Amino acid sequence: MNSPFTTHGALSWHELTASDSERAMRFYGEIFGWSFKKMQLPQGPYHIIENDGISIGGITDSPAPAMPSNWTGYITVKDIDAVAIKAKELGGDILFGPEDIPQVGRFCWIKDPCGAIIAAITYSSPKA
């Protein structure tokens, strides 16, 4: 079976930027049985979502509390820089990045021509 962390075009990670990450973790933990591991990053705490011991996403506090909470999907790509260029050529906007995430990979946020936002990522050490 192909891993979503190594398959170009696969949805590999889900991230919630929340107005209240503690409340969100209680909610999703109760509904789905998820557990969370806290990591301290320079910009604040980041909570890894685990489902049956497998890391599937993360939850973080919004840097702009007035911004509505939202989920972002991360799509695995072979070359993040090439994808960012192609997205712009096709009428999209790059909202953030490409930028490195130490020990994870390189990513960017893309806004498509219709206004929807998604993230793309090239993992530096793909998970199996």
Q: What is the DSSP string of 55-124?
A: EEEEEEE-SSTTSPPEEEEEEE-S-HHHHHHHHHHTT-EEEEEEEEETTTEEEEEEE-TTS-EEEEEEES
Q: Is the pLDDT of residue 95 over 50?
A: yes
Question: Could you count the other beta carbons within 10 Å of the beta carbon of residue 124?
Answer: 12
Give the class (CATH, top level) of 11-123: alpha beta
pLDDT in tens, 21-54: 999 999 999 999 999 999 998 888 999 999 999 9
Whether pTM exceeds 0.85: no
Q: Is the pLDDT of residue 81 over 50?
A: yes
- 114 phi, psi to nearest 5 deg: -90, -5
